[in-house]
Amino acid sequence: MTVLMGYCDRWSARPGDTVRFMVSCKGANRYEARIVRLKQPSAGPLATPFAPEPVAAACNGSYPARWQPIPIGSFVAVPPHPRISGLASFTVSVRVWPTTPGRGRQALLGTWCEATSSGWGLELDEAGRPTLRIGAGPGRITEVATSVPLRSRRWYHLWATFDDVTGRLFVRQEPLETRGFDPETAAEATLETAVRPAVEAAPLLMAAARAGKADGPSAWGGIRTCYHFNGRLERPRLAAAALDPAAVAALAADLRPAGLAELVVGAWDFSIGIPTETVHDLGPHRLHGTTVNLPTRAVPGSVWDGTVVDWTRDPSHYRAIHFHDDDLVDACWEPDFAFTVPAELRSGVYAAHLSAGDAEFWIPFFVCPPRGVARSPVAFLASTATYTAYLNNRGRFASLATELYQGRLLTLDRIDMLLLEHPEMGLSTYDRHGDGSGVPYSSRHRPVNNFRPTGRHWNFNLDLFIVDWLEHLGGDYDVVTEELLHEEGYELLAPYRVVITGSHPEYDSAEMLDAFEAYLRRGGRLMYMGGNGFYWRIAHHPTRPGVIEVRRAEGGVRAWDAEPGEYHHSFTGEHGGLWRRNGRPPQRLVGVGFISQGFDACSWYRRTAAASDPRVAWMFEGIEGEILGDFGILQGGAAGLEIDAVDPKLGTPPHALVVARSENHSNTYELVAEEVLIPHGATDATINRDIHADITFFETPAGGAVWSTGSIAFAGSLSWNGFDNDICRLTTNVLRRFRDPRPFPWPPR
């Protein structure tokens, strides 16, 4: 069977920009690549026929296939240095909080190379016992291990020594905490050997070991890695002597231990530079290292006692890094071909379509107008932050709740299967790592299975229904992205009279919300075309575009919850969680906010008395009935999946008009967690009147306005019956009036 996958180096491209495409293929000798413009999703016979528009491009053609593996798993790398390679006798010390002890060998700290059986390494063996291993080549390996395996999620101090004169290896573990009536004991082991570690110019790795030289992509330094550690490391220390226990204690406790200055090789402090990918050595040689594949920072260390919950206030409580064998920030593939955006190419949604035999793969990207230029008064804002948060979401496959939510059997297509067959494609922020901890980071620099115009209608795929509607109206629109919104702020939106969101703009940085608010204060018009928007606060990586962070703190509908003390983003120090918990609920911006979700069936809206208000008479021109949207490609209705409602307490403007309200939702639609103080009854839609989607309109002081649909499913009804339907008519009326330069008058009191 042919396996084909790829990704590109940028999602947001402007005229003159070059998009590079990285491809991996096996089972075929060649693959075909074509640039196309996407105008609609592939949605079956009830939707607009799927017809990507070919784009003339020099890169279109046939390419030789090659397989590029993905170097997954996080670690710290310290480049080779004479003080490391020249060690004879040594002491290594580190505090350890393992999360999967007993799940195979796991390297902690050392120069060990599996391919050459050389160097030294402190590690956990297959049973989870601390082990010191040394080697001088094949058949010349010696190791010593304690007899007591470490327990999961407990802090230990481990140290090991090697005396080059006597050949004595020593390893010891000491628990740093005990819990209740579950006593733990220290353990140690000693062995004498004639083996001496091979001397070579090798890097020092933490949380992984070298497997040898990489034949393909490498996450760092052209090497392959193995034996990745799951858990937290803190205070790594290395000294050029076999120290006694008192000296080891001084080395572990003090970055400049008295009387040991000449012996200290490295003393790393993970609490410095938390937002960066640098690991700082405060020892005399400044052997700074680099984190690889974004292990989780801003996590409590061994001294954390709950008195500090914000790492920016006292980083000494956050001297740990949490490593995972399934961390991934960049697949590091070599590019196969590139596309330079022509000056005359219209703004829109594009993709590289790859095919090889019966396999295909889509790599979407967005062509935006030149900076500061609007080629239309209307901009569609692609929800790139939300797309990134969901990339390679495997919860849909792995969770037993999916079929319960949807009321039907799960179906998988071939691209879905690709993720199951190749888990090294990495995780989404909706998943948990293999050790059970939540995934706070997501990156677009890797192949992904759920960012495509085919398959399940969610996020990007569903947003193409909005693009389809705009194409039906004549195609007079620009496409911009949330990536650019975060970077450029209000400047990106300023040239546009109307900004249209996607169906699910769930994830926003402070910079993004600031830009929206500035746009509305200055008279902009915002069409919020979805549900569950402006919900989670995120941070963008300070130096890597396309990498985001979310800390799922203090309530919310979530796949995992942040550990105590881990509510602040490592990238920025900002408090994470819901925007509602950060004092900026979505009702304040767009009038509505998340109230419920359900995935068994979608429903309809009923016009309210407010629909007859003269302020919105233009909205219902050509619409006669009271029921709106009792049809749709997404489970039969325009109101559903995830829905939003008004709430004056949370900021819905007092002059906002709810012109239509959904009804008839099933009992799978329950109040979101943040609305429930005491979980006892009256929480589902059949008995709770608070659960509904609100189509809402209000004017802003500078002559602008906001219109919100309050439903993710809304977009799936636009093209119904060849766009001859009341949802399309209603939305088109809104766009037509929002395009009109006449100011919206402030409503009378």
Taking the C-alpha atoms of residue 458 and residue 393, their distance in angstroms, rounded to an integer, is 11
Above 80 in pLDDT, residue 6? yes
Domain end point (choices 323, 351, 386): 323
**Both tokens assigned to 701:** 């002081």
Asked if residue 561 is part of any domain, the answer here is: yes
CB neighbour list of residue 90: distance below 8 Å, 6 or more residues apart: 120, 161, 162, 238, 239, 240, 241, 242, 265
Band (400; pLDDT cuts 50, 70, 90):
low
N-term to C-term CA, the chain = 68
Asked if 351 contacts 36 with a C-beta cutoff of 8 angstroms, the reply is yes
Q: What is the pLDDT of residue 409?
A: 75
Asked if residue 465 is part of any domain, the answer here is: yes
**488-499 pLDDT tens trace:** 999 999 999 999
Question: For 707, phi and psi rounded to 5 degrees?
Answer: -130, 125
111 CB-contact burial (10 Å; exposed 0-12 / middle 13-18 / buried 19+): buried
732 and 597 in a single domain? The answer is yes
Classify residue 434 by its DSSP letter: T
**29-74 pLDDT tens trace:** 999 999 999 999 999 999 999 999 999 999 999 999 999 999 999 9
Taking the C-alpha atoms of residue 451 and residue 383, their distance in angstroms, rounded to an integer, is 12
Asked if 5 contacts 23 with a C-beta cutoff of 8 angstroms, the reply is yes
Asked if residue 330 is part of any domain, the answer here is: no
Above 70 in pLDDT, residue 226? yes
460-472 and 726-739 helices cross at what angle (nearest 10)? 70
58 and 122 in a single domain? The answer is no
Asked if 90 contacts 108 with a C-beta cutoff of 8 angstroms, the reply is no
Asked if residue 746 is part of any domain, the answer here is: no
**Both tokens assigned to 351:** 């993709």
581 and 725 in a single domain? The answer is yes
| CA-CA-CA-CA torsion sign (91, 97, 103, 109) | negative
Domain carrying residue 230: 75-323
Asked if residue 332 is part of any domain, the answer here is: no
Above 60 in pLDDT, residue 181? no
290 and 377 in a single domain? The answer is no
**Both tokens assigned to 462:** 């569903």
Asked if 698 contacts 655 with a C-beta cutoff of 8 angstroms, the reply is yes
Asked if residue 745 is part of any domain, the answer here is: no
3 state DSSP class of 7: strand
201 and 216 in a single domain? The answer is yes
Mean of pLDDT values over 505-524: 98
| E strands present in 507-623 | 507-508, 525-528, 536-537, 539-540, 547-549, 592-607
229 and 154 in a single domain? The answer is yes
Asked if residue 331 is part of any domain, the answer here is: no
Residue 26: CA atoms inside 13 Å, Cβ hemisphere, count?
5
The letter for the amino acid at 223 is I
Domain end point (choices 263, 294, 323): 323
Q: What is the pLDDT of residue 318?
A: 98
Q: What is the pLDDT of residue 689?
A: 86
Please, where are the H alpha helices in 164-262?
Answer: 245-253
| CA-CA-CA-CA torsion sign (640, 484, 24, 357) | positive
What's the structural domain count of the chain?
Answer: 3
Taking the C-alpha atoms of residue 101 and residue 128, their distance in angstroms, rounded to an integer, is 4
**632-687 pLDDT tens trace:** 999 999 999 999 999 999 999 999 999 999 999 998 899 998 888 877 666 787 87
Q: DSSP per residue over 442-493, as a string? A: EESSS--SSSSSSSS-STHHHHHHHHHHHHHTT---EEEEHHHHHHHTHHHH
Q: What is the pLDDT of residue 686?
A: 80
Q: What is the pLDDT of residue 1?
A: 85
**533-552 pLDDT tens trace:** 999 999 999 999 999 999 99
**Listed range (166-170, 406-410, 609-613) with the worst mean pLDDT:** 406-410
Asked if residue 692 is part of any domain, the answer here is: yes
Q: What is the pLDDT of residue 680?
A: 67
3 state DSSP class of 309: coil
Band (179; pLDDT cuts 50, 70, 90):
low
Taking the C-alpha atoms of residue 166 and residue 238, their distance in angstroms, rounded to an integer, is 19
Mean of pLDDT values over 130-157: 96
**239-258 pLDDT tens trace:** 999 999 999 999 998 767 77
Q: Over the chain, what is the mean pLDDT?
A: 95
| CA-CA-CA-CA torsion sign (676, 677, 683, 687) | negative
592 and 619 in a single domain? The answer is yes
110 and 223 in a single domain? The answer is yes
Domain end point (choices 259, 293, 323): 323
**Both tokens assigned to 57:** 């491009």
**598-644 pLDDT tens trace:** 999 999 999 999 999 999 999 999 999 999 999 999 999 999 999 99
Above 90 in pLDDT, residue 185? no
357 and 491 in a single domain? The answer is no
CATH number at 125 reads 2.60.120.200
**452-481 pLDDT tens trace:** 999 989 999 999 999 999 999 999 999 999
210 and 225 in a single domain? The answer is yes
262 and 379 in a single domain? The answer is no
141 and 271 in a single domain? The answer is yes
Burial pattern 417-426, b for ≥16 Cβ within 10 A else e, equals ebbeebebbb
